Amino acid sequence: MRIENVKIVDPFFTVENGWIEFDDKINSFGSMSGKAKSILMPGFIDTHVHGGSGYDFMDDSIDFENLERHFFSMGVTSVLATTLTAPLDKINRAIDMIRKRRSSNPFTPFEGIHLEGPFISPKHIGAQNPDFILKGNVDNLKKIIDGNEDIVKIMTMAPEECDEDSILYLQSKSITVSVGHSDSTYEQFQKFYRLGVKHMTHFCNAMTPLHHREIGLVGAGFLNEDIDLEIIPDEIHLNKDMLSLILKFHPHDRIIAITDAMRATGLKDGQYDLGGLKVTVSGKAARLSNGSLAGSVLKYNEGLKNLEGLGLSLNELSMISSFNPSKIVKGGPSGRILPGYAADVVLIDGNFNVLTVFKKGRKVLEGG
């Protein structure tokens, strides 16, 4: 495949008007005369998303072709299917469904699993079900992880609810430990930070806030520049000012844009379900009856448009939407426009409307 007259945007460089050739991987690219008709970027990677288009990864059955089209329509070429706090057999069933889909469709965007819970704090439960919370110990972890080490990429957990051996166990399996839904103090977090825990789930949300006498997890995220921070750029979970603050003070190579989107994404306002909890979607927000946010209905490309509005360049957006999350997915070279990297690319216009999407060089979304 050869594409011409595109503005090529990599996290580290730009070709104002160029051409690119690829099969399943990128072969070569270069500049050419003329004016670019669209923008070509590495495919977006959502490492924290619960579903969309009416489906949740915890459902008993999923129309995967429909759900895959949903993600491709937003320019997302790689997804970590994210689970919820639930009975262990239900979590394992969700993992098995993703494994089977990966085996049956080599062009699926589902690259692995993000386990959000059940080893979390009841004090920062968010839209998780408190009935199924467990203590984080190796015996409980093995009931999910053993046999699934190849597909589980991230586990969100509350450090104060887990013992040290559980962290070491996950790290021995090359699984990223992410702090979230946690009531941890800064001092408690530092113990696990010294063990190498350097990732935070939906930063600022469902964690101890910043206070001038106890900086908590939000303070830890700002103070330690080597922590990867997930951000939800819907301007609801984090308003514009907080997003601007994070972008100003935290290195961009340590920020990962996510959606935390739930099944209602792409659908109309109304009543929906998340992990057995009733959710009302209205005005671009999904909330439980008590007013707590219940994931988002953010479309990935629209989140990037919001961030561009806060001053991020296309290169910086490519960094936080592709290159940074690719290091968490660990699925081979991706997230850049370089020879040998996966030909997972998206063509967009200047307003972040998605035109065409390729997964492993195959056109999975027809566009202009």
Q: C-alpha angle 336/23/66, rounded to 5°?
A: 80
Helices vs strands, H then E, count in the chain: 10, 20
Q: Are 238 and 231 in contact (CB under 8 A)?
A: yes
Residue among 10, 56, 234, 260 flagged as catalytic: 260
Q: Is 349 a catalytic residue?
A: no
Tell which residue, 64, 68, 65, 63, has the closest CA to residue 78.
68
Beta bridge partners of 157: 179
Residue whose C-alpha is closest to residue 301's, from 356, 342, 248:
356
Cα–Cα dist 270/339, whole Å: 46
**90 φ, ψ (degrees, to nearest 5):** -75, -35
Angle, vertex CA 50, rays to CA 48 and CA 54, nearest 5: 145
The residue assigned the tokens 């008709």 is 37
Catalytic residue set? 260
